[in-house]
Amino acid sequence: MSALSVLDRERSVAPWDYSRWLIPPAALAVHLSIGQAYATSVYKNSLVAHFDTGQTQIGIVFSIAIVMLGLSAAVGGTWVERAGPRKAMLVSALCWSSGFLVSAAGIAAGQLWLVYLGYGVIGGIGLGIGYISPVSTLIKWFPDRPGLATGMAIMGFGGGALIATPVSDALLAFYDPAYDSGAAGSVASGGALVGLFATLGAGYLALMLMGVLLIRVPPEGWAPAGFDPSAAAKAPMVTSASVSAANAVRTPQFWLLWTVLFTNVTAGIGILEQASPLIQDFFRDGGATPVTAAAAGGFVGLLSLFNMGGRFVWSSTSDYIGRKPVYLVYLGAGAVLYVVMATAGGGSVLLFTATACVILSFYGGGFATVPAYLRDLFGTYQVGAIHGRLLTAWSAAGIAGPLIVNSFLDAQGEPGTLTQEAYHGPLFTMVGLLAMGFVANLLIRPVAERFHEPGAAPAPAESAGPAEAGGPEAAPEVPAGGARARTPLLVVSWAVVGVLLGYGVLRILLTAAQLFTG
């Protein structure tokens, strides 16, 4: 038997006494790692100086990674379901970490194409596989709270940048004592960049391997105590049937939800991509703005915090009010808040900041709620593969959002001279997009039976376990000491991800305080 067979789905089935609360830290270990993708601005100027090139050429690195995220998630989604989470998460860890190492070699050799290949292509594949691989497993372990489960994991993707930003600054300063992130124009040396990429590659590999070791799939027939799948299936928009990924893309529900995700993400990126100059321009008067660069940095930090928090809070809320209603909040309330921002936001820093933060919480919540929405509509049979295909909406929004905003602003004048009026065009365009998404969400109905898989068995977590449901077979006897033996593992795994998240949140709050204290 091959040593690698331990990674097979069949070999990663959990024993009956395995705690499902070990699965969220496994997912967080992966998402906190790949969430570093949102922290590339930390070293962007240093890469520009090292390669003696332009912002656009360096920005291509991030663009390639996001495109590869969408492509690898869409193409590899079916393989992820077939191979199982352990093998998929290992592939993600190897691709993500080796992407950093290949990039480090490219920086050392002065070859930018190696950074494109490393972080962009290889790392981007790790991004896509890592993003979807824990999600369907979490849904199977938490059939009673799918929104909570996906919110916990995808929160990590939003939190990854909160950790990576201060850690990257500290590492660059460690490898290059002359570098000062607080000084305008300060850039790190090529050697510091090599050290940064190599260290991040090794560190993320270790963290993601923790996730690989913890992840398990539930045994056949397992269900949480007290869960009644027949009662859950009676909820509006929730199915107990199975729909394959191939059939899902043939349904109007898939494309309506694609539109919903596309419009919600495009609107969020409209603020996120332009965050720092946005708040400075809104309060510009006579060429000067009272919002300093440091305060604008605090604003960006707050947006990151609400982006992360919204992924957990709103997704968890959807377990109680339903996926369709919560998207009506994201899209309807989001449109109203954009109108408030465009018309009254310039009158108060507090009002402007509050509206922007809530909008970004909707943006993050949309990402975290969509896997549970897919589970409701299509079942858990191939939800990971369907999720991967749906993420092409993210790739499209990543192009559309900045293009819409920048096209309007380029027509209004030069950066540093714009005022609130210059943003009316892009902000009201976002209102129109959100209205389109609102209508698309209203049109979503349960999937027609002709798309169901007659021969596909329901996922294990969709069937109540024999012990809980009174089935004909008794559940295997669980050793009394099994759960107690895993308690230290539970504590340690949650402590690792908790400390990392706590560190990132603390640093962001300290930075955000400058928005109101100057």
- For residue 285, the cross-strand partners are 288
Instruction: Please tell me the distance from the alpha carbon of residue 375 to that of residue 424, in angstroms, as a whole number.
Output: 38
Question: What's phi and psi for 177, nearest 5 deg?
Answer: -60, -20
Which pLDDT value is given to residue 184? Answer: 63
CA angle 382, 383, 389 (to 5 degrees): 100
CB-CB contact of 369 with 150 (8 Å): yes
Helices (H), ranges, 215-292: 229-233, 245-248, 252-272, 275-282
Q: What is the pLDDT of residue 1?
A: 45
Same domain, 299 and 371: yes
> What SS3 state is found at 285?
strand
In this structure, what are the phi and psi dihedrals at residue 272, rounded to the nearest 5 degrees? Answer: -60, -45
- 10 with 137, same domain? yes
403 and 344 together in one domain: yes
Same domain, 402 and 273: yes
CB-neighbour burial class of residue 442 (10 A; exposed 0-12, middle 13-18, buried 19+): middle
423 occurs within a structural domain: yes
- Are 397 and 500 within one domain? no
pLDDT of residue 457: 47
Q: Which residue has the tokens 């040396």?
A: 189
Same domain for 209 and 262? Answer: no
Q: Is residue 464 part of a domain?
A: no
| 477 belongs to a structural domain | no
| 134 and 252 assigned to the same domain | no
DSSP category for residue 514: H
Q: How many whole angstroms from its chain centre is CA 479? A: 37
pLDDT at 234: 64
Q: CA 62 to CA 374: how far, in whole Å?
A: 28
Domain that holds residue 364: 232-457
468 inside domain: no
Q: What sign results for the dihedral spanned by CA atoms 253, 255, 258, 263?
A: negative
Question: Is 420 in the same domain as 284?
Answer: yes
Q: Per-residue pLDDT tens, the chain, 518 aa: give them.
A: 455 667 888 888 999 889 999 999 999 999 999 999 888 878 888 999 999 988 778 888 888 888 898 889 999 988 998 899 999 999 999 999 999 999 999 999 999 999 999 999 999 999 999 999 998 899 889 988 999 988 988 899 888 888 988 899 899 999 999 998 767 678 899 999 999 999 999 999 999 999 999 999 999 888 888 887 766 666 677 887 889 999 999 999 999 999 999 999 999 887 777 777 888 888 887 767 777 766 777 787 788 889 999 999 999 999 999 999 999 999 999 999 999 999 998 888 889 999 999 999 999 999 999 999 999 999 988 898 999 999 999 888 888 888 888 788 888 877 667 788 888 999 999 999 999 999 999 999 999 999 998 865 444 444 334 333 333 344 554 444 455 557 889 999 999 999 999 998 898 888 777 777 75
245 and 201 belong to one structural domain: no
What pTM was computed for the model?
0.85
Q: Is residue 188 part of a domain?
A: yes
Q: CA 443, 449, 454 angle in degrees (round to 5)?
A: 145
- Tell me: do 133 and 24 sit in the same domain: yes
Q: Which two tokens stand for residue 106?
A: 């490219």
Q: How many helices (H) and strands (E) does the chain have?
A: 24, 0
- Name residue, tokens 């902000």: 427
Dihedral angle at the C-alpha atoms of 150, 153, 154, 157, nearest 10 degrees? 180
* Residue 63 belongs to domain with CATH number: 1.20.1250.20
Token pair 């896997």: residue: 371
Question: What is the number of structural domains in the chain?
Answer: 2
The answer to whether position 357 is within a domain reads yes
CA 104 to chain centre: 25
Asked whether residue 386 is domain-assigned, the answer is yes
Closest CA to 68 of 375, 391, 368, 290: 391
| 378 & 513 share domain | no
Question: Is residue 5 domain-resident?
Answer: yes
- CA neighbor of 187 nearest in space, from 203, 176, 174: 176
Residue 194 and residue 45 in one domain: yes
Residue with tokens 């604008």: 296
Distance CA 404, CA 406 (A): 6
